[in-house]
Amino acid sequence: MDESKYKNAEFDARLEALENQPDPPVPDYVQLTLSLCPTNSAKCGWTGWLLEAAFRRCPEALKTSTGDELMSAITNQTCPRCGETVYRSSVTKTFVPTSN
């Protein structure tokens, strides 16, 4: 990884602003999908949970899959071991964070 792009004053200022937000936006719930790397199991075989989406509840119905606000999140279908595109199974679970 090229870390030089993270070693500058502009990045440091943006990071500090992000980390010091008084009330950072947090999802009310996230959806995770059980996923499988298609690579031969002897080479990789990773299975695990892929972030499908993060939502924040809102009073009005929006044009999203749940009607709530879709939050920015990384939902890449990339295997964390080998970098192949993973297959998303039909098993999706919704998780709600606790207040602590």
Q: Would you tell me which residues interact with Zn ion (CB under 5 A)? A: 37, 39, 44, 46, 79, 81-82, 84
In terms of CB distance, is 54 or 86 closer to Zn ion?
Answer: 86
Q: In angstroms, give the least distance from the CB of 24 to Zn ion.
A: 32
3-state helix, strand, coil in the chain (%, to 5): 15, 30, 55
* Closest to Zn ion by CB, 28 or 81: 81
Task: Kindly tell me which of 71 and 82 has the beta carbon lying closer to Zn ion.
Answer: 82
- The phi-psi region of residue 45 (left if phi > 0; otherwise alpha if psi is between -120 and 50; otherwise beta) is left
- Least distance to Zn ion from the beta carbon of 31, Å? 22
> Shortest approach of Zn ion to residue 39 CB, angstroms?
4
- Nearest by Cα to 45 from 81, 71, 75: 81
Nearest-CA neighbor of 27 among 60, 61, 52, 50? Answer: 52
Question: In terms of residues, how long is the chain?
Answer: 100
Cβ proximity to Zn ion: between 83 and 97 the closer is 83
* Shortest CB 38 distance to Zn ion, Å: 8
